[in-house]
Amino acid sequence: MTNPSPLGRRTRAVPTVPRGDVLGTYESYPEAQAVVERLSHADFPIKQLAIIGNDLTTVERVTGRLSYGRAALAGAVTGLWLGVFFGLVMLVFSPTTVTITTVVAAALIGAGFGMLYGIASFAVSRRRRDFTSTHQVLATSYQIVVDPSVSSRAHEILARPDQQR
């Protein structure tokens, strides 16, 4: 559903949680995904389905200690890629004056500046955060919700023995 705006563009309505009949509740996303795939293989109109994650939890997994060396290496790698990008852009827009040597030089300069930035960033935030981690948002359970008009067909398909391809 869209709402007209004064500039002639259409804006989207506020998202809502899908409503309908619950086909099942699963402990992991891959389990719920497998059910949707099974329905898809049976030519079920899967646009009528939704997978809803319940009881969301943020999980931060500590992956290691951050040191000046690791900060410098991470910054150098990021700077290297940025330097390669700028070098290639220069090569594309000035192919007669820029050579591959210029791209390599841009990559090395980028790595140097990235390393300095990584060390400076770590020095500023060292007392607050001296470890590396990854963040994930996980659900404790996943429900498959189906439009009530096709709910009985979905239940029939899932009641059949699973036909492996």
pLDDT at 25: 95
Q: Is the pTM of this model over 0.85?
A: no
The bridge status of strand 131-146 relative to strand 2-4 is unpaired
The string over 124-157, giving b where at least 16 C-beta atoms fall within 10 Å of a residue's C-beta and e elsewhere, is: eeeeeeeeeeeeeeebeebbbbbbeebbeebeeb
- Closest by CA to 87, choosing from 106, 110, 113, 111, is 106
Distance of alpha carbon 24 from its chain centroid, rounded?
25
pLDDT at 104: 93
- Please state the domain extents for the chain: 16-62+138-159, 67-129
Strand, helix or coil at 86? Answer: helix
pLDDT at 65: 87
165 residues of the chain, pLDDT tens digit each: 455 555 556 667 788 888 889 999 999 999 999 999 999 999 999 999 999 999 999 999 999 888 899 999 999 999 999 999 999 998 888 878 878 888 999 999 999 999 999 999 988 887 787 788 899 999 999 999 999 999 999 999 988 887 655
pLDDT at 9: 64
Neighbours of 103 (CB within 10 A): 19
- Right CATH for 16-62+138-159 from 3.30.70.1400, 3.40.50.620, 3.30.70.1370, 2.102.10.10: 3.30.70.1370
Q: Contact, 73 vs 119, CB < 8 A?
A: no
Residue 157 DSSP label: H
pLDDT at 164: 57
pLDDT at 51: 95
